[in-house]
Amino acid sequence: MKIDRRALFGLGGAGLLGGFLLWGRGEAGAAPGDFPVRFSDEEWRRRLTAEQYSVLRRGSTERARSSPLDREHRRGTFVCAGCSNRLFASEAKFDSGTGWPSFFRPLPGAVGTRPDNSLLARRTEVHCRRCGGHLGHVFNDGPRPTGLRYCMNGVAMRFVPA
């Protein structure tokens, strides 16, 4: 049986794990030496809100439908909340119905991926190429032209209007 984020949280946020504010992978984020933007854990805690730190540096997930970025429809760019790396153009955003900002394509060279086998599912984690911050996951159920759904945590990003 294939389990994805929609099945676990339910489209209304009342799924199996919908009542939890955040869940984590139980492991630290990216190793400090792996990315061009590096800060000590203490410095990351100073630079980020508690929720941003939990998501970007510890791999947690924000509660579905909690981010205003899910409802952001202006022209502009979505950037990493940790390092301001340009991640997604507004033209690649679509309403996936999942409660998280979703995109069908990142900007060139903006993100990296790695396997994530936590939470009883095989998924692909998406992280910022500059700071290694956890952004969300990518799934193969998105719209054309890519068929991909980059399901991102809004708290891990900021929106910069055009």
**Mean predicted confidence (pLDDT) in 94-108:** 97
Q: Flag whether pLDDT at 15 surpasses 50.
A: no
What is the spatial order of strands in the sheet that 86-89 belongs to? 86-89, 76-80, 157-161
pLDDT band, very low/low/confident/very high, at 33 (cuts 50, 70, 90)? low
Name the average pLDDT for the chain: 84
Find tokens 């153009």 and name the residue. Answer: 89
**Mean predicted confidence (pLDDT) in 12-34:** 41
Residues assigned a catalytic role: 151
CATH number of 5-161: 2.170.150.20
What element of type H or E holds 128?
Answer: strand 123-128
Are 132 and 44 spatial neighbours (Cβ–Cβ below 8 Å)?
A: no
Q: Which tokens is 89 given?
A: 């153009």
Distance of CA 157 to the CA centre of its chain: 8
User: Domain limits of the chain?
Assistant: 5-161
pLDDT band, very low/low/confident/very high, at 6 (cuts 50, 70, 90)? very low
Q: State the distance between the two ends of the chain, measured CA to CA, in whole angstroms.
A: 42
DSSP 72-116: --SSEEEEETTT--EEEEGGGEE--SSSS-EES-PPTTSEEEEEE
* pTM for this entry: 0.80
pLDDT band, very low/low/confident/very high, at 26 (cuts 50, 70, 90)? very low
